[in-house]
Structure 1
Amino acid sequence: GVNGRKIRMITEDHGYNPQKSVTAAKKLVEKDQVFCLYNVIGTSPVEAIRPILEESGIPLIAPATNSSTMSDMSRQGAKYIFHTDAGYDLQTKILINYILSKNPDAKIGFAYQDDDYGENALQGAAEAEEMNGITVQKESFQRGATDFVGQTSNFMKGGCTDVIIGGIVREPVTIMKTAQAMNYKPNFYGLGPTTDKRVGLLAGDAGENFITAYWAFHPESNNPGPKLYQELCDKNNVPDKMRGLYHYYGFATALVLVEGIKRAGKNLNRERLINALENLKNWDSGVFPPITFSRNDHAGVESVMLLQLQGGKQVEISDWLD
């Protein structure tokens, strides 16, 4: 426990659906009377519960989305949201700048999800376009899509040498396999959620050299946080197939929640938790780059490192980039 208290986690499945997210949040707040919300998954599901956070005053720690809208302090309920991840806009901009540093003549394509996730990533693409005087070819897809022949064909027709994929797991796997079947061989890149090791397992050789932007030290790296993660997985007999990005994400973000509760002290209440988190200064979790929150800044992390699939394994190929 923390300061003599045990943490009890109550979970609700919103199915990545904003309407169900509202229902689940109301149940947790009104019926279960939870102390805080933690790790709510998905940009749109989190955006949908902002009015509940504003009305209840219940903090949301580490929403499970890389969208920088989570730390936009002008939005409803912003006081109660503490974000841990570099935004999709920053990730997209960093990837575009990285591509151009390797090949100034690159023709870049971007496959994005037609929702809040994609909207935030498009902001980064627009900033990079203006900064570099280029035009990125953009192809949208609906959440849950399984056929990417149209988008991949359009990238090939457009002469894209480099393609960024703003998806999760299925999308990069399908796009890269579709391109392989077409004998189309651009360099592929992905935003944070595509970093899961299942991408390498499912894509096979079609995914070789796939580069992703990642907001933390890799779970299999030798840094203190990942080492602790590996030790806890071994101690608790966690199957190998579960040890990927999303399992690790729960561990990494829980460190932030626990640190906030520790610093709030024994006389715990929500205002004390908010105050404790807002006073984190260059805190080294061993997992993220140093985290700083303040009353006017709940962004936490604003840098990423690049990982590349090499022989089916993800390898760090950069330092922290911002």
Structure 2
Amino acid sequence: FALMNLTGTANVGAILPLLAKENPPVPLISPFTGADLLREPPINHVFNVRASYGDEVEKLVQHLTTLGVPRISVLWMNNGFGKDGLAGARKSMEKRGLKLHSDAPIQADSSDVQQAVQSLSAGEPDAIIMITAGAPTVTFIKAYRKVSRAARFYTTSVMGSQSTIQALGPDGVGVVVTSVVPFPWSQSLPVAREYRDVLKKAGMQESVSFIGLETFINARVLVEGLRRAGKDLTRPRFIQAMESLQHLDVGGFEVDFGKGVRQGSRFVDLTIIGTGGKFTR
């Protein structure tokens, strides 16, 4: 009937034609990717909750330029995800009348990590925005730290998994990570408290994470869409119901769809990896 929480730009891109072939098309709710291929132009049966990669990179560039950081470079994974992020970084800089200091690609298997390190470190950047996921994030930071400790690293939300942070170890301290949902440990935000309460009841209170809160929010959005669609559920009725989720308050987190609007949130925040692999604000 519908799909939810599909993960990864390449995976989602591969399945999109299959969803569109169905009559009516299969709704895709809250995929775990910020890629433009789901957003520009909007796809009628695809509802994005999380902010785009462009939104995340814009937040990083806004932060760095506000601080007056002069030399901003980009490391980008050599695939659709990385190219989207690089284009977003250039766009964000250009609208401020600025240019990137430098950029370098890296393969998904990190086979060219030394080349990427040499390319970027030669220009002595003050900050490196990393449009990477998984192994390249870890291998690059560790390799770069051996050459220079001058640059600070800024990464997108896809880096924020606990396994990646554990793999970085002490080299991860000080890395800035974007988040597309609020701080899961917030004491003031209702949806964060509710999420933690659910985990506690399941005996999983140690499993609090950004990806967990995002999944929780996505599930709340899906359930509200199904509720509004009513008992006689069809795909067209479900899509209409999802469109009706305008200014939906999910425990203090707003999701706003509508006619022709398939981007539910543009929320982006910044967090920092502290000692022990714990996030701080």
For normalisation by structure 2, the TM-score amounts to: 0.90
Q: Quick one: which of 170, 177, 197 aligns to 1:212?
A: 177
Report the AA paired with residue 39 of structure 2: S
1:151 aligns with 2:116: yes
Q: Quick one: which of 251, 269, 276 aligns to 1:286?
A: 251
Task: After TM superposition, give the deviation of residue 146 of structure 1 in Å.
Answer: 5.9
Task: After TM superposition, give the deviation of residue 308 of structure 1 in Å.
Answer: 1.3
Report the AA paired with residue 98 of structure 2: I
Alignment partners' CA distance in 2, 1:172 and 1:254: 29
Query: Quick one: structure 1 residues 310 and 180, their matched pair in 2 at CA, closer, same or farther if it must change by over 3 Å?
Result: same
Task: After TM superposition, give the deviation of residue 133 of structure 1 in Å.
Answer: 2.8
SS in 1 for 2:263: strand
Please say if residues 107 and 136 of structure 2, whose CA atoms lie closer than 8 Å, have aligned partners that are also in contact.
Answer: no
Alignment partners' CA distance in 2, 1:225 and 1:125: 31
Task: After TM superposition, give the deviation of residue 157 of structure 1 in Å.
Answer: 0.4
Alignment partners' CA distance in 2, 1:245 and 1:188: 19
Alignment partners' CA distance in 2, 1:192 and 1:307: 10
Alignment partners' CA distance in 1, 2:71 and 2:82: 20
Alignment partners' CA distance in 1, 2:72 and 2:66: 13
Unpaired segments ≥5 residues, structure 2 = none
Please say if residues 191 and 212 of structure 1, whose CA atoms lie closer than 8 Å, have aligned partners that are also in contact.
Answer: yes
Structure 2 partner of 1:64: 32
Please say if residues 200 and 208 of structure 1, whose CA atoms lie closer than 8 Å, have aligned partners that are also in contact.
Answer: no
Following superposition of structure 1 onto structure 2, how do residues 16-35 of structure 1 map, counting pairs within 5 Å?
A: 35=1
SS in 1 for 2:178: strand
Structure 1 partner of 2:146: 181
Alignment partners' CA distance in 1, 2:12 and 2:241: 23
Alignment partners' CA distance in 1, 2:251 and 2:114: 41
SS in 1 for 2:95: helix
Task: After TM superposition, give the deviation of residue 193 of structure 1 in Å.
Answer: 0.7
Following superposition of structure 1 onto structure 2, how do residues 14-93 of structure 1 map, counting pairs within 5 Å?
A: 35-56=1-22, 57-73=25-41, 78-93=43-58
Report the AA paired with residue 185 of structure 2: E
Task: After TM superposition, give the deviation of residue 201 of structure 1 in Å.
Answer: 2.9
SS in 2 for 1:290: strand
SS in 1 for 2:44: helix
Report the AA paired with residue 227 of structure 2: K
- Of structures 1 and 2, the one with the larger relative CO (CA 8 A, separation 6+) is 2
Structure 1 partner of 2:94: 130
Structure 2 partner of 1:254: 219
Taking every aligned residue pair, what percent have the same amino acid on both sides? 25
Please say if residues 45 and 239 of structure 2, whose CA atoms lie closer than 8 Å, have aligned partners that are also in contact.
Answer: yes
1:11-63: CA deviation from partner (whole Å, max 9, x where unpaired): xxxxxxxxxxxxxxxxxxxxxxxx11111111122122222222211101111
Task: After TM superposition, give the deviation of residue 165 of structure 1 in Å.
Answer: 1.0
Please say if residues 181 and 213 of structure 2, whose CA atoms lie closer than 8 Å, have aligned partners that are also in contact.
Answer: no
Query: Quick one: structure 1 residues 71 and 80, their matched pair in 2 at CA, closer, same or farther if it must change by over 3 Å?
Result: same
Alignment partners' CA distance in 1, 2:214 and 2:112: 28
Report the AA paired with residue 87 of structure 2: Q
Alignment partners' CA distance in 1, 2:259 and 2:270: 30
Alignment partners' CA distance in 1, 2:36 and 2:221: 18
1:229 aligns with 2:198: no
Task: After TM superposition, give the deviation of residue 251 of structure 1 in Å.
Answer: 2.2
Task: After TM superposition, give the deviation of residue 246 of structure 1 in Å.
Answer: 3.4
Task: After TM superposition, give the deviation of residue 147 of structure 1 in Å.
Answer: 5.7
Alignment partners' CA distance in 2, 1:253 and 1:68: 19
Report the AA paired with residue 91 of structure 2: E
Aligned pair count? 276
For normalisation by structure 1, the TM-score amounts to: 0.79
Following superposition of structure 1 onto structure 2, how do residues 264-279 of structure 1 map, counting pairs within 5 Å?
A: 264-279=229-244
Structure 2 partner of 1:118: 82
Report the AA paired with residue 139 of structure 2: T
1:117-137: CA deviation from partner (whole Å, max 9, x where unpaired): 112212211212311233321
Structure 1 partner of 2:270: 306
Unpaired segments ≥5 residues, structure 1 = 1-34, 317-322
Please say if residues 77 and 131 of structure 2, whose CA atoms lie closer than 8 Å, have aligned partners that are also in contact.
Answer: yes
Report the AA paired with residue 266 of structure 2: E
Report the AA paired with residue 29 of structure 2: I
1:200-243: CA deviation from partner (whole Å, max 9, x where unpaired): 43323322221112110122222222222212222222373x54
